[in-house]
Chains A and B, each alone.
Chain A
Amino acid sequence: MSLFTLGIARGLVGQVLGMVIGMLLTCAVRILLGWEAWAAEPAWTVGAVCSIIGFLLGVGSLDDWLKWTKGIPTPLHHGPPVDKPAWTRYFSVDYNHKVIGVQYTVWGILLLMVGGTVAMIFRTELARSGLQFLGLDLYNSFIGMHGMIMIFAILLGVGGMGNYLVPLMIGAEDMAFPRLNALGFWFNVPGSILLLLSLFVGGWDAGWTAYPPLSARGPIGYQLFFLGVFAIGLSSIVGSLNLLVTILRMRPAGMSLFRMPIFCWAVFATSLLQLTATQLIGTSFLMVSVQRAIGMGFFDPRGILGEVSPMVGGGDPVLFQHLFWFYSHPAVYIFVLPGLGIVSELLPVFSRKPLFGYKWIALSSLAIGIVGFIVWGHHMFVSGYNDILRIPFMYATLLVAIPTGVKFFSWLGTIWGGKIHFDTPMLFVLGAISVFLIGGLTGPILATVPTDFPLHDSYFVVGHFHATMFGGFVFPFFAALYYWFPKVTGRMYNETLGKIHFFIMTPAFWVQTLGQMGVGVMGMRRRIADYDPTLGAGQIENWQLAVTIAGFAIAFGVLLMLWNFFQNAEVGVAAGDNPWRSRSPEWQIPSPIPEHSFPAPLRVVGEPYDYGLADSGYVTTASPGDD
C-alpha cells in the first residue's frame, strides 16, 4: 500500500501543485501585460487560492460533482473502502457522518494543541516584564495566531459534535447531503495549512481581528490568513446548511421539534448563525484583500469623498469593524451554544431527573442566537462611531443575560434533588457551569458603556473572553469527549485519570481567568508584548507568573486526557452499549456503532428526558407489531 492511497497525502500534493501552478499563472499573466514577472504578494495570493482547489481535487472531494457535470451516476458508497485497510477511510474522503465527525474532532484537537503551544510560548514571555526571547512582530503574530487557530479548532469541535451526534440523535441514516458534508470537513485542512504558512511569509501583526488600516499595509501573511479564514468560512456555511436540512427534514415520525434531544436545538440555533453571519467576515476580509491587491479603497481613510474630487478617498476603517463584528460577535454564540447544549444534554443523565424546562432551554438557544445579531456594536464603544449607537447596543447586549439566565436556572432546577453521579463527564459539566458563570457575570461590566471605557482592550476582556470560551466550549467539549468516547470506540477511558485531569484543570483555569482579569484591572493592555513591572503596586509580575503556571497546568491536563484516550481506544475495558443509562437514541444501539446506525426506522414512544420514570423509554427501533 503506497502512501498515496491516503486521500490526505494526495490532497497535500495537490495543494503544493496548486500553489506552484497559481504562482506560475500569475507570472505568465504579468509577463503578458508587460510587467515584471515576479511580484510576491499577487503570486502568493493566487497561489493560495489555487492551492485550496488543488487540495480538494487531490483529496477527491470534488470527484462526484465533476462526474455529475458529465452526467455520470455516482451511487453513494457505504462502508470502508473495498481494496484498502478500514482505517484508511479516516484519512480519505468518506461520506459516513460518523467518520466525518471523528475527522472534524481529531483535526480540531490537533489545532487546539497547536494553538495551545503558541499560547504557552507567549505566556512564557509574559511571565516577566521586558522582552526575553520574542520580538515585537513575532509576539503580535503569535497572539493573532493563537486566537485564529483556536477559533478554527472550536469551529471544528462544534462541527465534529454536530456531525457525529445530530443524525444519531434524530435517528437519521446520515446527514442530508453526505458529499457536501465531506467537502465541509476537507475545506478545513488546506485552510489551516494556509493559516500556519502565513507565519513564514511575514506573519500578520494586527491580532486576529485584522483591523485596517494596519492589515491593509502589513506583510503578505495577511493574504494567506484571509484565504485560510475563507476556507474555514465555506466549511461553516456548507456544514450548517447540511445540519439545518437534516434537522428539519429527517426526523422520524412522532419526533416533533420539541421532542428532539436538546442538543439538536443548540445545533439548530448555532447553524442559523453560522449559515448567515459567516458571510460577513468573508466579505470584510475579501474587501481588505482586494484593497491590498488592486487598491480598491474601501477602508482607505485618506480624504473625504467629494472634497477634492469624487474620484479620491472616502474609505472608512470603522465600516470594517461593523462588518467584521456582525460575524464575529454571533461567532461567540456559534462557539458556546453547542457547548451549552451539551451541558443541558448531560445533566439529566447524571442527575437521573427530567430536564427542567425543556421548551425554555430550547427557545433560549434561539433567543441568544437572535439577540446575538443586534449586539455587535458593543465591541466598538471606543471606535469613534456615532455616539447615539452606544446606548441601544448596550441594552441589546444586556438583554443576552436573560436567555442565558434561563439556561442557568434550568440547569439548577435539573440538578436540584437529583441522584447525582460524579463521573468525569458530569464533573466537566459542573466545571463548565462554574466557569461560564464567571464569564457571564463579567459580561455586563463590559457591556455597560461607562465601565467598558476604562476596561476596553485591557486584559480584563481577555479574562472574560477566556471564561466564556472555556465554560461555553472547552469544558463541555471535554465532557462530550469523555461521555461519547465509549460510544465511538466501544471502550471505557480510565476514570481515575479523567478525574485527575478535571481536578488539575478546573482550579488552574480559575487562577488563569481571574488572574487575567486582575492584571487587566492593574492596567495590563491586551495585545501589547510588554508591561510596566510597577503596575499593581509592583505585584503584577507575580500575577502574570501565576497565570502562566496555570496555563501550563491546563496544557498538562489536556495531554493527560489525550493520553488516556490514546491508551484506551483499542485495548480499554469494553464499555457496553449504554454505560451511562441514557435514553438518547444513540445509546440504544451497539458500541461502536455499526455502519448503518439503526437497524430499522426509529419510533418515538415517550419523552426524551423522563429519567426516573419507571418502564418508560424515548425511542425504539422495534416495529409496532413486536411489542
Chain B
Amino acid sequence: MTATAIEHGHEHGHAADDHHHTGEVDLPTYLEYTRRNRLGMWLFFASEAFLFLALLVTRFYLWRGPHGEVVRPELDQFAGLVVTAVLLLSSYFMNRAEVSIANDKRTDFLVSLLITAGLGTAFLIGVVVWEWGMFPSIVKGHLKPTDGVFGAVVFGMTGMHALHVLSGVVLILNVWWLGRKGHFSSERHWGVEACAIYWHYVDLVWIFFYPAIYLIGSTIEVPH
C-alpha cells in the first residue's frame, strides 16, 4: 500500500465545480473532496503507525542482553548520522515544493521536487550500500539478515522504512512529471499535498527508528 491508493486525481479537470453533473445529484466541491481525501490520508497514517509500532515493539522486546538489559548492535554511527541528516533535509525541500505550488511558483516547485527525490534516493543508497553492505566490493556491511535478532530487526526495520521511502520517491517523481506537463495549480494541488504529507510521515517514522536502532541501549561485549 502506498499513498497512491488514496484518491487524489481530482485536479485533472473533472472535479465537481467544472459544471460536471451526473444524474440529478450535484457532486460535491473540490474543497469537499480534498477534505475527504485529507481525512482518508490521515486514517491511512494512523493505520501505518501500527505497523511501525509493531516493529518498534519487536526491537525493544528482542534486543535484550543476557541480564535483560536493553542492547543494540554495533553499527556504523557515521553512516546513520549522515542518512538521517539527508532525510531530514529532504523534508525541507518537500515543504518548499508545496509552498511554491501554492504560490504559483512553478519553477521552484519542480526544482524542489527534484531535490527531494534526489535526497530520498541518496538516503536509499546510504542504507542499501553503506549500512546493509549489499555491494561488499564497495562497502562491507556490519550485519547480515541472518545474524540473530540483531540482523533480523535491523533489516526488518530499515527494510520496511526503505520500502516506504522508495514508494515516496516514485510518488514524488510522478508528481514532478505531472507538474512538468502543467498539472496542479495554486488552488488545486491535492496530489502535491498528499505526496508531501506522506513524505513528512515517512521522515517522522525515521525520527523514531533512528534512535531505536542506533542510539538506545549499550552494545554487547563479545565474550572471550
Q: List A residues at the B interface (Cβ < 8 Å).
A: 64-65, 68-69, 71-76, 78, 173, 176-177, 179-180, 183, 234, 237-238, 241-242, 244-245, 248-250, 275-280, 282-284, 287, 290-291, 294-298, 303-316, 319, 322-323, 326, 595-596, 598-601
Identify 8 new A-B residue pairs, CB closer than 8 A, beyond the known A183-B5, A296-B152, A311-B143.
Answer: A71-B183, A73-B9, A73-B13, A249-B35, A275-B47, A297-B146, A305-B63, A305-B65
Contact with B181, one of A71, A282, A296, A303 (Cβ below 8 angstroms)? A71
A296 touches B50 (CB 8 A): no
CA distance A313 to B152 in the complex (A): 10
Interchain CB contact under 8 A, A176 and B51: no
Enumerate chain B residues within 8 angstroms of A298, measured Cβ to Cβ: 58, 62, 149, 152-153, 156
Q: B204: CB under 8 A from chain A?
A: no
B residues engaging A (CB < 8 A)?
Answer: 1, 4-9, 12-14, 20, 22-25, 32, 35-36, 39-40, 43-44, 46-51, 54-55, 57-58, 61-66, 71, 73, 143, 145-153, 155-156, 174, 178, 181, 183, 219-220, 222-223
Known: A73-B14, A305-B148. A176 touches B153 (CB 8 A): no
Contact A277 B50 (CB under 8 A): yes
Q: Which B residues touch A290, using CB under 8 A?
A: 145, 152, 156
Minimum distance in angstroms from B58 CB to a CB of chain A: 6
A71 and B20 alpha carbons, distance in the complex (Å): 18
User: Hey, which chain B residues are within 8 Å of A74, CB to CB?
Assistant: 9, 12, 14
* Residues in chain B near residue A313, CB distance under 8 A: 148-149
Are B61 and A316 neighbours in the complex by a CB distance under 8 Å?
yes
Report yes or no: A596 in contact with B24, Cβ–Cβ below 8 A.
yes
Question: In the bound complex, what is the Cα–Cα distance between A11 and B148 (angstroms)?
Answer: 41
Q: Are B145 and A296 in contact (CB under 8 A)?
A: yes
B12 near A599 with CB under 8 A, answer no
A296 to chain B: closest residue by CB: B152
Q: When A298-B152, A305-B62, A599-B24 are in contact, do A245 and B36 touch as well, CB less than 8 Å? A: yes
Q: How far is the CB of B4 from chain A (nearest CB, A)?
A: 6
Query: Given A249-B35, A323-B58, do A305 and B44 touch, yes or no (CB 8 Å)?
Result: no
User: In the complex where A76-B22, A296-B152, A309-B222 touch, is A275 in contact with B1 (Cβ < 8 A)?
Assistant: no
Please measure, in the bound complex, the distance between the C-alpha atom of A74 and the C-alpha atom of B4, giving whole angstroms.
Answer: 15
Q: A280-B54, A296-B151, A315-B152 are in contact. Are A69 and B174 (CB under 8 A)?
A: yes
B150 to chain A, nearest CB (A): 6
A sample of 18 inter-chain contacts (CB < 8 A) reads A71-B183, A72-B12, A75-B14, A177-B40, A180-B40, A234-B1, A237-B47, A245-B43, A275-B46, A276-B50, A278-B47, A290-B152, A296-B156, A307-B223, A308-B223, A310-B73, A314-B150, A601-B25
Chain A residue contacts of B36, Cβ below 8 A = 176-177, 245, 249-250
Contact partner of A596 (CB less than 8 A), chosen from B1, B23, B48, is B23
Q: How far is the CA of A241 from the CA of B25 in the complex (A)?
A: 24
Which among B9, B13, B62, B220 is the interface contact of A319 at CB below 8 angstroms? B62
CA distance A326 to B148 in the complex (A): 24
CB-CB < 8 A to B49: which residues of A? 276
B155 — which chain A residues lie within 8 A by C-beta? 296
Contact yes or no, A306 B14, CB < 8 A: no
B157 → chain A closest CB, angstroms: 11
**Given known A-B contacts A179-B7, A315-B62, A241 and B40 have beta carbons under 8 A apart:** yes
Cα–Cα distance between A298 and B54 once the two chains are bound (Å):
13
How far is B28's CA from A92's CA once the two chains are assembled, in angstroms? 27
Partner of B149, one of A249, A297, A309: A297
Task: Tell me, in angstroms, the Cα distance from A295 to B145 when the chains sit together.
Answer: 7
A315/B1 contact (C-beta < 8 A), A71-B181, A275-B46, A279-B47 known: no
Say yes or no: A297 contacts B73, CB within 8 Å: no
A566, B39: Cα distance in complex, Å: 40
For B183, what are the chain A residues with a Cβ–Cβ distance below 8 Å?
Answer: 71
Q: How far is the CA of A176 from the CA of B85 in the complex (A)?
A: 38
**Contact with B40, one of A245, A280, A284, A308 (Cβ below 8 angstroms):** A245
Which residue of B has the minimal Cβ distance to A280?
A: B54
